[in-house]
Structure 1
Amino acid sequence: MPYWEIFTPESAFTPQDKEQLSQRITSLYTDYAYDLPKFYVVVLFKDMPADTMYVGGKANNNFIRIRVDHIARQMDDPEMRFLCMEVIEEKLAPFVKDRGYDWEVHIDETPMDLWRVEGLVPPPPESDVEKLWAKENRPVPYELTG
């Protein structure tokens, strides 16, 4: 599961912006991560009132902070990590950089065995069951094997 928290100044994004940005973020995973199920991608926008985001000890009302947690896929290869960050910056640019915001983004990776979806152990990456989950766009109960 990619889980994104996006902390923004109040009214930085309209509801339409949030939907478009969420779709761009989802496409990161469906286009680059072997058709990851769309429902794995969760994006949470947190509108921050003025004078609640501080950078270097000073209020910054023009700052966007993005925290990403990857679980469904891990990136061990430094080149893959670099490419991932480049694609993320590209997807964010029209909503962040091009609008003149200050921003920061980071990714944490959580072990897959510390994750459940509606009480189910997610299927192994690229397995037939995961492909079924992607096709159905929802978790489907299945039998765990050894």
Structure 2
Amino acid sequence: MPYWEIFAPENAFTPSEREQLSEAITSLYVDIVDVPKFYVVVLFKDMPASSMYVGGKANDNFVRIRVDHIARNGGTAEERALFMSIIEDKLAPFIKERGRDWEIHIDETPLDLWRTQGLIPPPALSDMEKLWAKENRPIPYEVAAS
């Protein structure tokens, strides 16, 4: 699951812009990484004036993005650099092109520390994960003994 937290000044994004940005983020993972849509979660956190400080100074023009990757991890340094470049392109109309300061980082969580609806997600690109993607929801199944 990619889980995004976007810390931004209050009223930085309208409800429509939040939906557009969430759809752009979701498309990254569905089109490029091939995960089910429902794996992608985006949480907007509105930050009141003078609550974000950068370098010890209040910055009411700053957007901070924290991302957790679980469903897919790793890749080569080149693949990660390309993915970060694609992310920057998707974010640009909502952040960079509006003259905002921003920062983003991605953490990777081990797969064995993830459950959805109490279920162990199926292996990447397996028939069961493809069914989950088609149905856009987790479906109970028998986990193979290891």
Both proteins in one fold, TM over 0.5: yes
Give how far 1:76 is off: 3.0
Q: Deviations over 1:85-139 (max 9, x none)?
A: 0000000000000000000000000001100000000000000000000000000
Structure 1 residue ranges, 4+ long, deviating more than 2 angstroms after superposition:
none
Give how far 1:30 is off: 0.4
> What is the aligned residue count?
145
Q: Identity of aligned pairs, percent?
A: 71
RMSD: 0.5
1:82 is matched by which residue type in structure 2? Answer: A
Give how far 1:75 is off: 2.0
* 3-state SS in 1 of match to 2:8: strand
Aligned position for 1:46: 45
Unaligned 5+ residue runs, structure 1?
none
Give how far 1:48 is off: 0.3
Give how far 1:74 is off: 0.5
Supply the distance in 1 between the matched residues of 2:95 and 2:87 (Cα, whole angstroms): 11
TM-score, normalised via structure 2 length: 0.98
TM-score, normalised via structure 1 length: 0.98
Aligned position for 1:138: 137
